[in-house]
């Protein structure tokens, strides 16, 4: 059955991939995006684009009307910059989420809400061992704090209005189409630097480990969460495998045939030492199973990003 789905942040990296997948399933899709990071040209043909900000109550109310489901991806996404822009991040990620949820409540048609959270909600882990959803949520950055508030708003407001909800905690997502940023997407950051002949920076000793999950697997998790007969649940979305930042740098070097060596930089404030997802809950309740293996998928992603990288 065709569903009417509103995707906030649908002109962004993950959002545009998800919108394409929803359209391929025969859904009617509306994208709501302020285009501060997302691009108009990234919105797949067949989706309606409404340009607006989630903190604009009137605009998000109007956009939400008549939809069956809301996927809330719109956010300011950066851990390091969230210290400088704590007010702006909190306004978008917390106030914006409250506005989206209130719009869903008022619509009279929305029956399910799916929202994107982050690994940044967790306390640091002492070892590179996968952590499950019961790991302490004690975020060390304003961004992580805002995402933890998002989770509580989504589940609480959905339950109060008789809607079902699911929240996905994304780990380090990579894939084609990710735009360069000084703060987000180490694969894209390294690729853009090396493609321009610039040595990439590694913050700290580079042995901090992350769980790198392909955007196609993130989309798979979103689709499964929309379909699942579960509510009020939060899920890790990753692969369960740990990879160091140093190793990512080596893999990007190999994919590009680069001999540039990374330059060291002081460890960044607010970043976790180890963050690897235990995905058993998503596997059991959603049927989620990542298909992309990092060492197999990364070279093609790096080459695709490099082809579009500006040259200095």
Q: Are 133 and 174 in contact (CB under 8 A)?
A: no
Q: Are 265 and 201 in contact (CB under 8 A)?
A: yes
DSSP per-residue string spanning 15-46: HHHHHHHHHHTT-EEEEEE--SSS-GGGSPTT
Residue 132 CB partners (closer than 8 Å, separation 6+): 236, 278, 280, 281
Torsion of CA 84, 145, 6, 36, to 10 degrees: 0
Residue 276, burial from CB neighbour count under 10 angstroms (0-12, 13-18, 19+) = buried
Write the DSSP symbol of residue 278: -
- Cβ neighbour number for residue 29 with a 10 Å cutoff: 26
Helix (H) or strand (E) holding 72: strand 69-72
> 143 catalytic, yes or no?
yes
**Alpha-carbon span 10 to 8, nearest angstrom:** 5
**Alpha-carbon span 207 to 175, nearest angstrom:** 22
Residue 152 CB partners (closer than 8 Å, separation 6+): none
* Catalytic residue (choose from 143, 174, 274, 288): 143
Q: Can you tell me which residue has the tokens 């909600």?
A: 121
Q: How far is CA 112 from the centre of its chain?
A: 19
**Alpha-carbon span 140 to 137, nearest angstrom:** 10
**Alpha-carbon span 200 to 28, nearest angstrom:** 42
Q: Which pair of structure tokens corresponds to residue 32?
A: 């709501």
End-to-end CA distance of the chain: 49
Catalytic residue positions, numbered: 143
């Amino acid at each position: 059955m065709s569903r009417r789905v509103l995707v906030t942040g649908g002109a962004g990296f993950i959002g545009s991939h998800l919108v394409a997948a929803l359209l391929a399933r025969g859904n009617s899709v509306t994208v709501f995006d302020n285009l501060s990071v997302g691009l108009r040209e990234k919105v797949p043909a067949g989706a309606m684009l409404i340009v607006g900000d989630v903190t604009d109550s009137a605009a998000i109310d109007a956009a939400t009307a008549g939809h069956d489901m809301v996927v809330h991806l719109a956010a300011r996404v950066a851990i390091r910059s969230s210290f400088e822009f704590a007010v702006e991040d909190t306004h978008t990620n917390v106030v914006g989420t409250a506005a989206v949820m209130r719009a869903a409540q008022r619509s009279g048609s929305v029956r399910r809400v799916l929202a994107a959270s982050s690994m940044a909600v967790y306390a640091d882990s002492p070892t590179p061992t996968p952590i499950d959803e019961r790991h302490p949520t004690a975020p060390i950055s304003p961004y992580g704090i805002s995402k933890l508030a998002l989770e509580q708003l989504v589940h609480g407001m959905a339950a109060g209005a008789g809607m079902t909800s699911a929240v996905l905690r994304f780990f380090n997502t990579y894939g084609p189409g990710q735009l360069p940023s000084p703060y987000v997407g180490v694969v894209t950051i390294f690729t853009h630097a090396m493609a321009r002949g610039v040595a990439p920076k590694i913050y700290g000793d580079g042995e901090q480990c992350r769980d790198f999950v392909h955007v196609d697997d993130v989309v798979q998790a979103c689709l499964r969460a929309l379909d699942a007969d579960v509510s009020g649940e939060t899920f890790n979305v990753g692969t369960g495998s740990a990879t160091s930042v140093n190793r990512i740098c080596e893999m990007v070097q190999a994919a590009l045939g680069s001999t540039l060596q990374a330059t060291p930089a002081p460890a960044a404030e607010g970043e976790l030492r180890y963050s690897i997802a235990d995905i058993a809950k998503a596997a059991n309740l959603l049927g989620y199973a990542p298909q992309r293996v990092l060492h197999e998928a990364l070279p093609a992603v790096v080459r695709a990003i490099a082809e579009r990288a500006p040259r200095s």
